[in-house]
Structure formats: structure tokens, C-alpha cells
Amino acid sequence: MAGNTFGTLFRLTTFGESHGHAIGGIVDGCPAGLALDSEAVQSELDRRRPGQSHLTTPRKERDTVEWLSGVYEGVTTGAPIGFMLRNEDTKSGDYDHLKSAFRPSHADFTYTAKYGHRDHRGGGRSSARETACRVAAGAIARQLLATVGMEVSAYVERVGETAVPFAPSYFDRAAIDASPTRCPDLATAASMAATIEAVRKEGDTVGGAIALVGRGIPAGLGEPVFDKFQAVLAHALWSLPAVKSMEIGSGLHGTTMRGSTHNDAFQTDESGHLHTATNHSGGIQGGITNGEDLVVRVGFKPVSTLMKPQATVNAEGEAITLEGKGRHDPCVLPRAVPIVEAMALLVLADHWLINRAAKL
């Protein structure tokens, strides 16, 4: 299966299926000498794991990271960093009724069309369980980037029609994790939680949006033409399950503005450092970071598995009715926050290493 590796110099390859023995990955290109805080990596995984609140799937996975290579006495060696997360709470029998059925809006039909054979247990390789590997790798990237002052933070901006009343801003993790919805505005978070609970009781699901802000990012990251920073970031974020949209800076709203209003004028501060008066560009101009905050919004569709009957067909083309079984999230957004952060961190780490070779 192609497409299991992401990155140029800081590269991640993932392996494993939702109901296999384990999932894991290999991070290649991480410089030697990085003191790796395993507890910090585990804390990132704990934010993504299932069963962490009443708003998520009750599947219980500890997602304890096991280091296989590339780390000795807590320090990276420069060798590929291998890691593994064992699958412990699989209930494959919950998926027996899906062996020959095509669930609406899932990968069942497309995987069958492409490969002719699929692992129906929990979606196999198409399952969002694979994203735990991305979070582990992103946690390594975060620690690398912290050595040069770069950091990112994401939060749930909107669930259904309920949204925060402010533009994307940087929040620390404590403020974001104060609510199980991972929305830093507690009044809005309470409304979001009520929406999620309501759709759960109806056997339905709901989508929304996540805002991500990066700061401390130097000007100059990104490659002209095909590997523009936003193009690689789009590759990273659009590779996540359930993502349906991505905006940078002013996003779609910017298309309604005039150039005289949208342009970000340059100015210098009292220290003589160059900045822009506004940030409609979202920290990227000409495909290269300009030193301003990176501002991204990612839209997620409602989870496709519903706990109510849906019409579909089986592999023989016969009309059937399916009803969701097993353990599923009514809303993916709270658990998607660390995944969005991880993919942005992987892009930043990769382009930071690439940029070190761009000039003397």
C-alpha cells in the first residue's frame, strides 16, 4: 500500500490496523542529541486516546508508547525512531455484519474497489486509530521545534452551528483542556457539549471546525512552486480522516474583500523588527512563512457511523439496511485537536530542517 510515508527530511511512516496486534511508526530524520521527554509524548497520546470523556467513544486504549529504536538513555541517536502502540480493547465481533456491506460515506466500497480485499474490522487501515501514530510523531516534532521557539496550539472553534465569538487566537493547553470539548471559551464549550450529547441520544453525529495558531515561526519556511508551505500543510491536514475543508488566514471570507482591505501592510516595531499590520495572509506569503502567526481553520464532517438505520447495499449490489454497532464518537472534534496539532508540527519540523540548507 503506497502513501504511508509523509515528509522529506523529517519523515514519518506509519503501520498497523485498527484491530490488528498494534499500530506504530518510524520517524526518520530527527537530529541526534534531542533529550526526548517520553512523558510529554505520552501526554499528547492521552489527549487523543478513546474513552477520555463522556463525549467520546467508550473504547479503552491506554495507547502506551513503546520505543523500539532511535532513543538511548532518553536522547535521540540520529537513527530512525521506531515506536509501537498495542491494540488492547478490540471487539472485532461488532463488525461481523460489515464483511460484505458498504457503510454510507465510509471507505468500505472504495477500499474494495481499489484492493479487492479489505479488513472490515473497525475499518482496518482506514480507521482513525492510525492517527495515534501521527500524534506520537508530532510530539517528537514539538520537542524539536521547542528548541528554536516554535509552538502550535489548536482548539475546537465550532460544533455544528455553535461557534466561539472571536477570531482564531493562541491558547495554552490548560485553557483548551479545561472542557472535554477542547473549546477555551467555557460558555461556548457548554453549548457544544449539549449539542454533542443531544446528537448522541438521537443516534446521530455532528461535525464542526478546529482552529490552529502557530507562533514563533521564523520567516522563510516553505519551498517555491510545488512545495509551498500551505500546499504541504494542506497535504498534511487533508490526509486526516473526516477533513472536508481548510482555510489559511482570512480563508473563504477573504474572497469577499477588496485588495485594498485585504493586503497586509508592512511596518517595523520599536526594535526595528519587520511585521505586518494585519494578518489576512495567515502567516504565509508567496508560499513562504513571513514570521507572523500561522492561522489555520480545519473543517470536519460528521462521523459517518450512525446509531440509527441507514439504507445501503452489499457487495452483491443488494439493497440492505444497516444500523451502527460498537463504540463510536458522536463528534470527532475534541479528539482531533491533538491530531491537527501533530500534522502542523510535522510540517514545521520538516521545513525547518529543509530551510537550514537553503542559504549559507
Q: Which CATH number belongs to the domain containing residue 114 in this structure?
A: 3.60.150.10
d(CA 48, CA 343): 13
Chain segment 168-218, per-residue pLDDT in tens? 999 999 999 999 999 999 999 999 999 999 999 999 999 999 999 999 999
Q: Could you tell me if residue 124 is inside a domain?
A: yes
d(CA 6, CA 12): 5
DSSP β-bridge partners for residue 208: 159, 300
Which residues span the domain enclosing 336? Answer: 5-355
> What is the mean predicted confidence (pLDDT) over 64-69?
97
71 domain-assigned: yes
Residue with cell 474490522: 121
Whether 188 maps to a domain, the answer reads yes
Phi, psi of 298 (to 5 degrees): -120, 125
Residue 277, in any domain of the structure: yes
Residue at 81 is within a domain: yes
| Whole-angstrom distance, CA of residue 48 vs CA of residue 128 | 10
Name residues whose C-beta falls within 8 Å of residue 273's C-beta, 6 or more positions apart in sequence: none
Q: Grid cell 472490515 — which residue? A: 120
pLDDT of amino acid 52: 66
The per-residue pLDDT for 274 is 94
For residues 55 and 127, what is the distance between their CA atoms, to the nearest angstrom? 19
Count of domains observed in the chain: 1
Rounded Cα gap, residues 99 and 17, in angstroms: 16
Cα(206)–Cα(83) distance, integer angstroms: 33
Q: pLDDT tens-digit profile of 111-151?
A: 888 888 777 766 778 888 999 999 999 999 999 999 999 99
Count Cβ atoms below 10 Å from residue 128 Cβ, excluding itself.
Answer: 21
- Give dist(CA 44, CA 38) in Å, integer: 10
Alpha carbon distance 190, 199 (integer Å): 15
Residue 336 lies in a domain: yes
Residue 280, in any domain of the structure = yes
In a domain, 360, yes or no: no
C-alpha cell of 207? Answer: 461535525
